[in-house]
Amino acid sequence: MQRSRRRRIYEGKAKILFEGPEPGTLVQYFKDDATAFNNQKKGIITGKGVLNNRISEFIMERLMEIGVPTHFVRRLNMREQLVRDVEIIPVEVIVRNVAAGNFSKRFKMEEGSPLPRSIVEFCYKNDDLGDPMVTEEHITAFGWAAPEDLDDMLHLTLRTNDFLRGLFRAIGLKLVDFKLEFGRLWENEEMRIVLADEISPDSCRLWDIKTDEKLDKDRFRHDLGKVEEAYQEVARRLGVLPAAGPMDLEGPRTVQ
């Protein structure tokens, strides 16, 4: 199999990056593996990789249409997409529109409480440290991103939030919060900050507008049941559920 001979560049919790077909590209492979609480909880969500590949493709394409640069090039197959090889900035940018998760815990605010405005938080991407929350001071002092890079990241984050809130609202979903990652894309001598990683129910909290039903990874984190169904429902509402439906969600698997 051709896939087994490809050079594996990096393996994360939910994705594998392989060497791409052309210089400057990578193949991003979406696994069904799910982790939560800094790797303490592990499991498989059947079909998640196939659905997140499609959902992230759809969202990245819509964002590119409105001028948000991303690493996405094109989807290759059920579980893989071609992306540009960017230098990942080790900062997770989290946007919160409604209190939930870690924010609710920290401020003892009931999940679903409205916030006075959208709040942006930064975490240092480091599993050993448990992704600690940091400020712009840490980011620039430690050289993870220059102040100009951080400005670009913030601007792109707020634009993405505005756009995605509307996109999800139109299909009856509330974008409660989400996490973004950015990378540096080098073209000749020029560097641009672009959106990287993925945008999917693994990295967003999405609630049904009418019922507040959770349709995201919280169903796995908190054993709420109907986990696969939640990912399928988001894909269905976005119009990207594979035609063959849930029976066809396994797709090809990586050769280890």
Which residues of the shown chain bind ligand 5GP in the complex (CB under 6 A)? 92, 94, 101-103, 131, 177-179, 202-205, 217
Residue showing the smallest CB distance to ligand 5GP in the complex: 101
* Cβ at position 92, least distance to ligand 5GP in Å: 6
CA–CA gap between residue 230 and residue 112 (Å, rounded): 19
Decide: 207 and 240 in contact? Cβ < 8 Å. no
Nearer of residues 119 and 255 to ligand 5GP, judged by Cβ: 119
- Here the tokens at position 82 are 């071609």
Nearer of residues 98 and 145 to ligand 5GP, judged by Cβ: 98
Nearer of residues 55 and 94 to ligand 5GP, judged by Cβ: 94
* Cβ at position 179, least distance to ligand 5GP in Å: 3
Ranges of beta strands (E only) in 147-250 are 173-187, 190-196, 204-208
Nearer of residues 178 and 182 to ligand 5GP, judged by Cβ: 178
Nearer of residues 4 and 213 to ligand 5GP, judged by Cβ: 213
Nearer of residues 89 and 94 to ligand 5GP, judged by Cβ: 94
Hey, is 115 helix, strand or coil? strand
* Cβ at position 166, least distance to ligand 5GP in Å: 18
- Here the tokens at position 218 are 């919280």
Ranges of beta strands (E only) in the chain are 8-11, 15-19, 25-30, 33-36, 41-44, 72-75, 80-84, 87-88, 91-98, 114-124, 133-134, 173-187, 190-196, 204-208
* Cβ at position 128, least distance to ligand 5GP in Å: 13
CA–CA gap between residue 180 and residue 197 (Å, rounded): 8
* Cβ at position 15, least distance to ligand 5GP in Å: 10
> What is the C-alpha R_g of the chain?
18
Nearer of residues 39 and 46 to ligand 5GP, judged by Cβ: 39
* Cβ at position 172, least distance to ligand 5GP in Å: 18
Q: Is 256 exposed, middle or buried (0-12, 13-18, 19+ CB in 10 A)?
A: exposed
* Cβ at position 103, least distance to ligand 5GP in Å: 6
CA–CA gap between residue 135 and residue 141 (Å, rounded): 10
